[in-house]
Structure 1
């Protein structure tokens, strides 16, 4: 059981790293004066690649945390 949890943890860690590295940066130059206008993509955020990567990052992070808790749970019960 321990080996299975370690394997899942390693896979989750790799997925987290790849999904974070694939996300575009939020700062595209220091545009203090642009104002951030409304665009087509800002209205349809749920269907973009950015939102899918963010969702994958959050889900794999939650799974990673659950696996870590499951691995350490027997230590807390004793």
Structure 2
């Protein structure tokens, strides 16, 4: 049982790392300062339907699963 949980946790950790690395940067740097911040566009209005939103959801789900697996392994030990 413990070995199965460790394997699942390793797989979830690798997926979590890959998803975090695939997410785009949130900072605008100096370009946001010069241009005045956010601009209204089709992309910004429909942000919940983009792949960025999907990556964000997958990150949260993998993080929760990883935390639960850590707690279960600690209880089993």
> Same fold judged by TM-score > 0.5?
yes
Query: What are the Cα deviations for residues 21-76 of structure 1, in whole angstroms up to 9, with x where unaligned?
Result: 1111112442213221111111111110111111111100000000000001145x
Moved segments of 4+, more than 4 Å: none
- Distance, in Å, in 2 between the alignment partners of 1:52 and 1:45 is 10
* Higher mean C-alpha deviation, range 36-45 or range 8-17: 36-45
Superposition CA RMSD, Å: 1.3
* Higher mean C-alpha deviation, range 32-41 or range 50-59: 32-41
- Distance, in Å, in 2 between the alignment partners of 1:74 and 1:15 is 24
Unpaired segments ≥5 residues, structure 2: none
Query: Aligned residue for 1:2?
Result: 2
2:33 is equivalent to residue 32 of structure 1: yes
DSSP-derived class of the 2:34 partner: coil
Q: Normalising to structure 2: TM-score of the pair?
A: 0.87
Q: Normalising to structure 1: TM-score of the pair?
A: 0.86
Alignment: residue pair count: 75
